[in-house]
Structure 1
Amino acid sequence: MNSLALVIVGLAMMLTGYALYSRFLGAKIYRLSESYLTPAHTMEDGVDYVPTNKYVLWGHHFTSVAGAAPIIGPAVAVIWGWVPAFLWVTLGTVFFAGMHDLGALWASQRHRGQSIGTLSGRYIGARGRNLFLVVIFLLLLMVNAAFAVVIANLLISTPTAVIPTWGAIVVAVLIGQAIYRLKWNLPIVSVVGVTALYALMIIGDRVPLALPETVLGIPDRGIWIIILFAYAFAASMLPVWVLLQPRDYINGLQLFVGLLILYASFLITRPDVAAPAFNADVPDGTPSIFPLLFVTIACGAISGFHGIVSSGTSSKQLDKETDARFVGYFGSVGEGLLALGTIVATTSGFKTLANWQEIYHEWNAGGVGAFVQGGGSLINEGLGIPTSLSATILATMAVLFAATTMDSGVRLQRLVVEEMAELLGFKLSGVVATIIAVGCAFGLTFSTGLDGSGGMLIWPLFGTTNQLMAGLTLSILVVILTHLRRPTWPVLIPLCVVTVMSLWAAVLQLRTLWAAQNWLLLVIDVIIIIAAVWVIVESFTAIGRARRSPQVQWSDSDTDAPAPVHAG
């Protein structure tokens, strides 16, 4: 099997999905309106609510939702063979992820940019909202703690990525000033910014930087993690236009150029797929493909974290409601293309099946390392870029994806903490809420020692929690669409698939945790399952109420969508 066929079919499916299916969703299901005035205008505050060019906002959304997950998930999942991973990524992007991200963005910006957790209280009741916020808080805690560890590990394993990683922050601040203060031409700023980032990669490849093995008794990984949390604290407090937006935008462009380089290498080398289509000879300890495939590949097919970003930051920056199709759906397409590129790199970047099996000798052996190794080999062979620089480009891609997700994750955690405080009857300042958000992730990360290994402590629950979160978001969308008397099948079918697979995986995980006597994760997993089931039951009860209640009408003149009469 030649990998070029996978690239052509995958690209055709995703781009056709954007051209046709997203247009159907925008016109018939979500009914996006050019004349509706978004919260970015009606609630503009220069900090969180800022009307944003759709291309800049796409960069923020794409890089925030992507992270390292669309690399890690597919790079692990190909252990079951390339066919299952390919089908789930392509079909998931077209019919699940794009619809989910677009829907969450649409629903939030029609309700003053409120988070999906707040919307759950509005449409299914206070109990559902409280449980929803518990799941969101735990999911963000996992992301913020684990991604700090992932980034630190990459900076240690690939010291050539240090200069471009931190240099990107300086470039982003200058880009923000150029766009918003100096009002420079966006295409010119974009070209200059991307050129600067790639120049930094060349410098980084020639001047690798590494911390001492220990500083004041703290291992180098622990020091990197402390630096990352200090940066995330500062970044989450700044107005979005100063750092978050321009950083995500320029990273999005740079990462898209990186994807073009990767795909160009596929086109030139046209390598054969070394991995089996269906792998019957999996290593001992590899779990069953059902339901694990559907939670191993989350980002790149559908991910609950996307709903948190869509309703947490992106909805507050949407200039026009019609921009939601490009920002939300095409943002998912961008992530799907990264996942597809990962599948090709990790199945075709090795010359023989034996070479591939050396990497995939055990469950979870694949990951970012397999992506960097396989992709770097193809780029070197196809474009003649030195292997070291190829690895630097791909490693920097992975770091910047993870870093932008962590940026947004801490900011979102701050907003969730503020929401939870309001529900308890008091108001927290942004600084206090950020201290709590960063403090929880920091405490978890260093809970098992100064090396920061505690950051991965509850990460094994991420896959199931993330997909359960996607199911919960979809359930809210079904309730809203039912109140509006609009077709629900494009949302209801993915809701059923995602919910069944994620609950199935969560229950199987209980058995594994019980056998391993991992009581901490067992208790957290039970809490997550109970909360998710409870919210889903209340959601379907709310759907029944919505069918019996009068139709809700939304007008373009409403600055906040009218709530249903019987919300629970």
Structure 2
Amino acid sequence: MNSLVLALVGVAMIVAGYLLYSRFLARKVYRLDPDYITPAHRYEDGVDFIPTNKLVLWGHHFTSVAGAAPIVGPAVAVIWGWGPAFLWVTLGTVFFAGMHDLGALWASGRNKAQSIGTLSGKYIGRHGRNLFLVVIFLLLLMVNAAFAVVISNLLVSTPTAVIPTWGAIVVALLVGQAIYRLKWSLPLVSVVGVGALYGLMLLGDRFPIVLPETILGLSANAFWIVVLFVYAGIASMLPVWMLLQPRDYINGLQLFIGLGILYGAILISSPTVVAPFYNENVPEGTPGIIPLLFVTIACGAISGFHGIVSSGTSSKQIAKETDARFVGYFGAVGEGLLSLGTIIAVTAGFRSLADWEEVYSAFGQGGVQAFVTAGGQILNTGLGIPTGLSSTILATMAVLFAATTMDTGVRLQRFVVAEIGGILGLKLGTLVSTLIVLAVTMGLAFGAGADGSGGMVIWPLFGTTNQLMAALTLSIVCVILLRLRRPVLPVLLPLVFVAFMSVYALFVQLGQFWNAQNWLLLILDVIILVSALWVLVTAFGAMAAARRAPAVTPEEDEAVDAEDALEPSGGRRG
């Protein structure tokens, strides 16, 4: 199979999804209103609620939801062959991910930009909300702790990525000042910012930063993890316009250009896909493709984490409701293109099937390092970029994706901690909530691994937890649509599919954890399974009740709050 054919067909499917299917969703299902006054205007505070240019907000949303997962998942899942991974990414992006992200953004925007966890209290009840928050907290814990490990590993294995990774923060701070204080035009800021980032890559390639084996008694990996958490904690407390928004926007442009470079190299070199369409010779111990494919590739097909971002930060910055189509659905398109590029890189970036099989000698092999190595080979062959610089570009892409997700993840986990505190009758300020988040995530990172790698201990549950979160989010969107008497099948069918595959995968993992006597993961698996099933059963009951009840108008639905719902500021209503 020629990789160029794979790229053209995949890109055409995903782009057609945005041009056609997202328009149908926006007009017929969610019925986006350009005159609706969004929470960004209603509650503008200069910190979290800020009406934002849709291009800037798309950059924040895209880079926040992408992370390393759309690279890791597909780069592992191709062990079953490129065909299943390709189909799930392309069809998933069009009919699952884009619909889910747009739906979560719309639902939150129509409810004071409240988080999806708070909305569960309004639409499926207090007990469902409490269990919902448990799933959200565990998912964010997995993302924040594990992505710190991914980033630190890349900074150690690819020291040429150190300067561009940390230099991007300085660029972002300057971009924020240029946009909001100096009032530079967005095109000028974009050109200067992206140019600075690529200049940093050239600088990093020439001056790699290699840390000594131990720093202050910590290994190099552990040192980077501590620095990352300290940075993420500080960044999560700053106004979004100062660092989060500009960092994500300029990274989003740079990362999309990086994708363009990768696809350009594929177009020119047209490498042959050496991996099989369906791999019948999988290594011993590889689990069955059903249901594991659908939880191994989460981000890039559909991801519950996206719903948390959509309702946690993005909904607070939407200037016009109609922007949600571009921000939400097209954000999913960007991630789908990244996953598709990853699939091509890790199946066509090897000289032979034997070389590919050597890397994929066991389930779980591949991942980010395979993407960097194989993708770098394609850039070198197609565009003549030196192998070292190619690896720097792709490693920096992966690091910046993961870092921006971690930035947003810590901020979101702070919101969740404040929400839980409100339920318990505790008013937790920004600093206290942030310190709790850092204590829990770093406690996991270093409590289960002296080098800070403890975040990977619970990572095996990420895929199933993430997909269950997507199903739970879709269940709330379904309840809202049923109350409004809108078309519900475009949401309900993906909800049933994702819920079934996720629960099935959790039961499969229960057996694996039991056989391995991994009691920690077994207990967490049970907690997640029980919480999710409870919420799903409650949600389907709420759907049935909504269908029987009289229809309500959008204004009537918006005016109804759960008796214990939280206001956007995080405080309880008086």
TM-score range for the pair, normalised by the shorter chain length: over 0.9
* 2: CA distance, partners of 1:228 / 1:264: 33
Match of 2:560 among 556, 560, 563: 563
Shift of 1:566: 12
Contact 1:110 1:561 in 2 (8 A): yes
1:191-210 matches, cutoff 5 A: 191-210=191-210
Shift of 1:480: 0.6
Shift of 1:451: 0.4
* 2: CA distance, partners of 1:296 / 1:342: 14
Partner deviation per Cα, 1:105-145 (whole Å, 9 max, x = no partner): 00001111000000000000001000000000000000010
| 1:267 maps onto 2:267 in alignment | yes
TM-score (norm 2): 0.97
* 2: CA distance, partners of 1:362 / 1:444: 27
Partner deviation per Cα, 1:306-344 (whole Å, 9 max, x = no partner): 000000000000010000000000000000000000000
Q: In structure 2, do the counterparts of structure 1 residues 567 and 22 end up closer, same or farther at CA, with 3 Å as the change threshold?
A: farther
Partner deviation per Cα, 1:332-384 (whole Å, 9 max, x = no partner): 00000000000000011112111111111111111111111111001001111
Aligned counterpart, 2:570: none
Q: Secondary structure of the equivalent of 1:108?
A: helix
Aligned counterpart, 2:216: 216
Aligned counterpart, 1:312: 312
| 1:489 maps onto 2:486 in alignment | no
Shift of 1:567: 12
Q: Secondary structure of the equivalent of 2:362?
A: coil
Aligned counterpart, 1:84: 84
Partner deviation per Cα, 1:42-70 (whole Å, 9 max, x = no partner): 00000000000000000000000000000
Q: Secondary structure of the equivalent of 1:336?
A: helix
Aligned counterpart, 2:100: 100
Partner deviation per Cα, 1:234-281 (whole Å, 9 max, x = no partner): 000000000000000000000001000000000000111100000000
1:361-510 matches, cutoff 5 A: 361-510=361-510
Partner deviation per Cα, 1:71-126 (whole Å, 9 max, x = no partner): 00000001100100000000000000000000000000111100000000000000
* 2: CA distance, partners of 1:388 / 1:449: 31
Partner deviation per Cα, 1:460-495 (whole Å, 9 max, x = no partner): 110100000000000011111000011100000000
* 1: CA distance, partners of 2:29 / 2:563: 22
Q: Secondary structure of the equivalent of 1:350?
A: coil
One-letter amino acid of the counterpart of residue 28, structure 2: K
| 1:352 maps onto 2:352 in alignment | yes
Contact 1:549 1:566 in 2 (8 A): no
* 1: CA distance, partners of 2:364 / 2:513: 17
Contact 2:121 2:562 in 1 (8 A): no
Contact 1:30 1:103 in 2 (8 A): yes
Q: In structure 2, do the counterparts of structure 1 residues 441 and 567 end up closer, same or farther at CA, with 3 Å as the change threshold?
A: closer
Aligned counterpart, 1:7: 7
Contact 2:380 2:386 in 1 (8 A): yes
* 2: CA distance, partners of 1:67 / 1:348: 23
Q: Secondary structure of the equivalent of 1:451?
A: coil
Aligned counterpart, 1:236: 236
One-letter amino acid of the counterpart of residue 344, structure 1: I
* 2: CA distance, partners of 1:35 / 1:425: 37
Partner deviation per Cα, 1:162-194 (whole Å, 9 max, x = no partner): 000000000000000000000101001101100
* 1: CA distance, partners of 2:340 / 2:545: 41
Partner deviation per Cα, 1:432-467 (whole Å, 9 max, x = no partner): 001111111010000034301211111111010000
Contact 1:552 1:562 in 2 (8 A): no
Partner deviation per Cα, 1:188-236 (whole Å, 9 max, x = no partner): 1101100100010000001000211112321111111110011001000
Contact 2:2 2:273 in 1 (8 A): yes
Contact 1:464 1:505 in 2 (8 A): yes
Q: Secondary structure of the equivalent of 1:301?
A: coil
| 1:246 maps onto 2:234 in alignment | no
Q: Secondary structure of the equivalent of 2:454?
A: helix
Aligned counterpart, 2:19: 19
Aligned-residue Cα RMSD (Å) equals 1.3
1:171-186 matches, cutoff 5 A: 171-186=171-186
One-letter amino acid of the counterpart of residue 562, structure 1: A
Q: In structure 2, do the counterparts of structure 1 residues 268 and 121 end up closer, same or farther at CA, with 3 Å as the change threshold?
A: same
Identity rate, percent = 70
Shift of 1:549: 1.2
Q: Secondary structure of the equivalent of 1:319?
A: coil
Shift of 1:562: 2.5
State how many pairs are aligned: 565
Aligned counterpart, 2:257: 257
Contact 1:445 1:452 in 2 (8 A): yes
Contact 1:74 1:296 in 2 (8 A): yes
Shift of 1:564: 8.0
* 1: CA distance, partners of 2:325 / 2:562: 29
1:256-335 matches, cutoff 5 A: 256-335=256-335
One-letter amino acid of the counterpart of residue 245, structure 2: Q
Q: Secondary structure of the equivalent of 1:440?
A: helix
* 1: CA distance, partners of 2:543 / 2:488: 11
* 1: CA distance, partners of 2:298 / 2:564: 31
Contact 1:553 1:562 in 2 (8 A): no
Contact 1:124 1:567 in 2 (8 A): no
* 1: CA distance, partners of 2:295 / 2:417: 27
Contact 1:549 1:565 in 2 (8 A): no
Q: Secondary structure of the equivalent of 1:513?
A: helix
Q: Secondary structure of the equivalent of 1:480?
A: helix
* 2: CA distance, partners of 1:65 / 1:146: 15
One-letter amino acid of the counterpart of residue 83, structure 2: V
One-letter amino acid of the counterpart of residue 519, structure 1: W
* 1: CA distance, partners of 2:149 / 2:227: 12
Aligned counterpart, 1:150: 150
Structure 1 stretches of 4+ moved >4 Å? 564-568
* 1: CA distance, partners of 2:457 / 2:562: 43
Q: Secondary structure of the equivalent of 1:561?
A: helix
Q: Secondary structure of the equivalent of 1:282?
A: coil
One-letter amino acid of the counterpart of residue 425, structure 1: G
Q: In structure 2, do the counterparts of structure 1 residues 441 and 543 end up closer, same or farther at CA, with 3 Å as the change threshold?
A: same
TM-score (norm 1): 0.98
Contact 1:542 1:567 in 2 (8 A): no
* 1: CA distance, partners of 2:188 / 2:520: 52
* 2: CA distance, partners of 1:44 / 1:345: 43
Q: In structure 2, do the counterparts of structure 1 residues 433 and 565 end up closer, same or farther at CA, with 3 Å as the change threshold?
A: closer
* 1: CA distance, partners of 2:554 / 2:481: 11
* 1: CA distance, partners of 2:148 / 2:561: 41
1:89-168 matches, cutoff 5 A: 89-168=89-168
Bigger shift: residues 429-438 or 441-450: 441-450
Aligned counterpart, 1:64: 64
Aligned counterpart, 1:339: 339
Contact 1:125 1:567 in 2 (8 A): no
